[in-house]
Amino acid sequence: MKINYFSIKSFILALILGLSYASAPSLVAAEISTPAAISLAGTFSGRWLGQNEVGGDLRFKFSPGTDAPWTADVLFVYEGTDVHAKTQSVQINGNKVEVVITWEIQGTAASTTLTGILSGQDIEGTYKSTAAEEPATGKWKVSRG
């Protein structure tokens, strides 16, 4: 019996290409959805602490967005007052998170950029606020739950 190696090679090549094509959509989806981005959805609570040892509660609620990849509802407490910030942007790059918010307290408007690292159930980082009176910097940490 004579074996046609060309036919066998063609069959194996067609089989490999077929399997590669069939699994291509799942490979593309895996590249788009990073593990850190998936685990970001939810509510995180914790504290912020400024350079003058002034601090308060800090809460994020991250959700996949419709107009943007992610949205965040942000609330922080300043001297006993709940401040509901307006989120300008949410950027996620691997386990790095950056949220830019604007807010106003007693007629003083400011913008704050919070940058942090997602590690397990925690996000920890630094912030920088720009206000007409004086820029402020500090640290923050929140945990899921």
Q: Mean pLDDT over residues 14-32, rounded? A: 34
The pTM (predicted TM-score) of the whole model is: 0.71
10 — pLDDT class (breaks 50, 70, 90): very low
Length of the chain: 145
CATH number of 35-144: 2.40.128.120
Residue corresponding to tokens 């003083």 = 108
Burial class (CB in 10 A: 0-12, 13-18, 19+), 71: middle
CB 55 within 8 A of CB 49: yes
Q: Which helix (H) or strand (E) holds 133?
A: none
